[in-house]
Structure 1
Amino acid sequence: MAIIPEVDCVMKKTLIVLIFCLGIPLLTGVKFVPIISSPLFSDDHDSRTTMVTQKQFVSTATFSAIGDILLHSQVYQDAEKEDGSYSFTSMLEHVAPYLGESDITFANQETMIGGKELGLSSYPSFNSPVEIAENLQSAGIDIAGVANNHTLDRGEKAVQAGLAHYDRIGLPYVGAYKNEIDANTSRIIGANGIDFGFLSYTYGTNGIPVPAGKEYLVNIISFEKMRRDIENIRKEADVTVVSMHWGVEYERLPNEEQKKLASFAAAQGADIIIGHHPHVLQPIEWIEQKNGRKSLVIYSLGNFLSGQKGLYKNIGGIFSLSVTKNETGRTQNITIHSPRFLPTIVTNQNGADFKVLPLREVDLIRNDEILSHMYQWLKK
């Protein structure tokens, strides 16, 4: 039996699926490379070489992440249709091809999607249309992070309504949960024989207390919880992705607390750390352990779609990387490599016709400045 996360006859970028195909094991996206070793066996009468062949399995998957989906009233009003439903498709159509390029793409859905039945609302207490989830999914998003300072804006009712909608459309979420069972269910997504495990945390909830006994409603940053969660998910996943809602708004460089948390997560075994909350971009950096193991962190992905005003608040991007798994016998090696970044910008015409565009199509000079800012620590 072969583990086949992606084949032509099933949906792209799916959870692990087990199938038989004419009794022949198939593994899409995996190279088979014979490795030859030659131990010598000899005695007084004979000397011969026995060839022992081990197969080397080499597979590669790509991962991307985007920043804050922060739906202010002017954004969802622009998305409203004549029948009272909402569509954000036109806002995302210019970047959807890039979102769909990677095997797995993560988005930070910063506003809870309680739906219009609860009454839509904007800053400072957000509640958003459910349609954004389908539109993101159609554009290429495979999992939504929902642990942030706005998770509890409209209370438990909005959280439960939003999570139920994610379940209905089959879009995995991480960082806020329906109950303890949901919270203890690992978020694992497979691509090309590589399993990615997801965790998500926030620094707080804007002073709104988490209901006693319902800590599962949102993951609050805790060193002990992070240590335990990372340890557990590493038992199931090849790659551990940790989303952190942290930092100071509108600061273009991370503070010491962010660096401390990133170093801690990396030391526990996080492979990829993606940051949110500052609403502006912060650089990418490698974190290397004494044993040579390296983790990759992007301190802030900025705003991907929002109604915030100001140049750097309108700029976000698509952070991408590649992961290669090399298996020989019982030995497995995971390599994170080839980080890259596509800057994006939110445009609008007097508060209408919102669109997310590749920045290079709007302002090539600013695009180069942003790339220099994001890569500045990768050059060291």
Structure 2
Amino acid sequence: MKKVTYRLLITLFLLTIIGGCGANDTKIMQTAGEHQTYRSTIDAKKQIDWETSITVSAIGDMLIHAPVYRDAKTEDGYDFTPMLEKVKPYLQDATVTIANQETMIGGEELGLSSYPQFNSPFAVGDALKEAGVDVVTLANNHTLDRGEVAVQRAISHWEAIDMMYTGAYKSEADQERIRVQETEAGISLAYLSYTYGTNGIPTPSGKDYLVNRIDREQIAGDMAKAKDMADAVIVSLHFGTENERMPNVEQKDLAQYVSDLGANVIIGHHPHVLQPLEWLTGEHGNKTLVAYSLGNFLSSQKEYYQRIGGMLQFTLTKTGQGDNVEVTVEAPTFLPTYMSYDNYADYQVLPLFNLPNGELAGATKEYRDIKAHLSQWMPELRFIEG
């Protein structure tokens, strides 16, 4: 996990430097990977002005069809790392990176399987970890494809590689534990994840903890706890209509509800195609960044828009004085990606901005159109092109 520690260390350090400051002294500290500025001024109340920021990235669906895991087969098992090699620098260029693991990694011993009931190798998780992913969301319509055993085996592996997971859980106590990540910059993040359903597969009796479903009462309760525990809350919603490039009424309505609850960022999955980004204003005046669908990241779906995915990146900035602090979402940025493969082999996720025309006919025009589609409600959206 990149750059994670307790804020207590920062607090102790600040108290130390305050003791050595004069009435008008200013101390500035910067660390690699984040921007931190601490302005400590001694006054009658000995309060501290504080500003710090981190970057967060999120990618779309890791949807491991049979051709993908067959292409990853090696003499010793499976290796998905070459598929992510071209985008690895971008995944690592953030304080925190989040992925939507659409298929359970129940492992080979359970028997690998593809659509409509997926089970993927443990090595998918290893590749994400190696590429720089810190958190995986697990609540989706395929969570229960291979039953409780696949969920439990997957979670055991996520724990073995020290990967934070949310949305599917091993027990009721595990579900009740809100996932909170502390960063070295002094900003804490809470992660929540929910799905509209599980393709008609019922949750085993008494084991609702296996997957979080979209239930407004549960979301409200989880949000209340998360806001008390963390500076910012990032909510993953598995919703929408497959292959539709625009969010539907239900998506818009639920996103507004979650914004009203105080979410800082909403990350959407399930349509398997990119949908536009948008700012929402919650009922208390808070701003929420919404990506209705990040599309597929790694998959074997073959339609053009199903092969276009991407990585959303944004900055979280925390400012304030004493206990009066505010966290804002700033500088949304996007890296469109293309799922490259030939005859269901040689799978690679490639940045779209420098994709050669030989890889995709009219690549330059297609890239321009994707940028226009994503930014139609957010003209200030920037794109990573280097």
When normalised by structure 1's length, the TM-score is 0.89
In angstroms, what is the RMSD of aligned CA positions? Answer: 1.9
Structure 1 residue matching 2:78: 3-state secondary structure: coil
Following superposition, the deviation at residue 245 of structure 1 comes to: 0.3
Which residue type is aligned with residue 367 of structure 1? Y
1:98 paired residue among 74, 79, 90: 90
What aligned pairs does 1:127-142 form with structure 2 within 5 A after superposition?
127-142=119-134
Instruction: Point out the more displaced range, 235-244 or 325-334.
Output: 325-334
1:14 paired residue among 4, 24, 44: 4
What aligned pairs does 1:43-192 form with structure 2 within 5 A after superposition?
54-83=47-76, 85-191=77-183, 192=185
2:362 is equivalent to residue 369 of structure 1? no
Q: Tell me which residue corresponds to 1:285.
A: 278
Following superposition, the deviation at residue 367 of structure 1 comes to: 1.6
Following superposition, the deviation at residue 365 of structure 1 comes to: 2.2
Q: Tell me which residue corresponds to 2:36.
A: 30
Structure 1 residue matching 2:271: 3-state secondary structure: coil
Structure 1 residue matching 2:98: 3-state secondary structure: strand
The structure 1 segments of at least 4 consecutive aligned residues displaced by more than 4 Å after TM superposition are 17-21, 23-29, 34-37
Distance of aligned partners of 1:157 and 1:291 in 2 relative to their CA distance in 1, 3 Å threshold:
closer
CA distance in 1, matches of 2:42, 2:197: 54
CA distance in 1, matches of 2:264, 2:275: 18
Deviations 1:188-241 (A, max 9, x none): 112211001000000000000011110000001001000110011110010000
CA distance in 2, matches of 1:33, 1:200: 36
Which residue type is aligned with residue 217 of structure 2? E
Larger Rg: 1
Is this contact kept in 1: 2:261–2:282, CA < 8 A? no
Following superposition, the deviation at residue 379 of structure 1 comes to: 3.0
Deviations 1:225-267 (A, max 9, x none): 0011001111001000000000000000000000011000010
Is this contact kept in 2: 1:246–1:258, CA < 8 A? yes
Following superposition, the deviation at residue 15 of structure 1 comes to: 4.9
Deviations 1:125-179 (A, max 9, x none): 0000001101101101000000000000000001000000000110011000000
Q: Tell me which residue corresponds to 1:243.
A: 236
Is this contact kept in 1: 2:37–2:52, CA < 8 A? yes
> Structure 1 or 2: larger strand share?
1
Q: Percent identity?
A: 48
1:325 paired residue among 309, 315, 318: 318
Q: Tell me which residue corresponds to 2:338.
A: 345
When normalised by structure 2's length, the TM-score is 0.88
CA distance in 2, matches of 1:366, 1:15: 42
Paired residues, number: 355
Distance of aligned partners of 1:372 and 1:121 in 2 relative to their CA distance in 1, 3 Å threshold:
same
Is this contact kept in 1: 2:2–2:96, CA < 8 A? no
CA distance in 2, matches of 1:153, 1:71: 13
Following superposition, the deviation at residue 351 of structure 1 comes to: 0.7
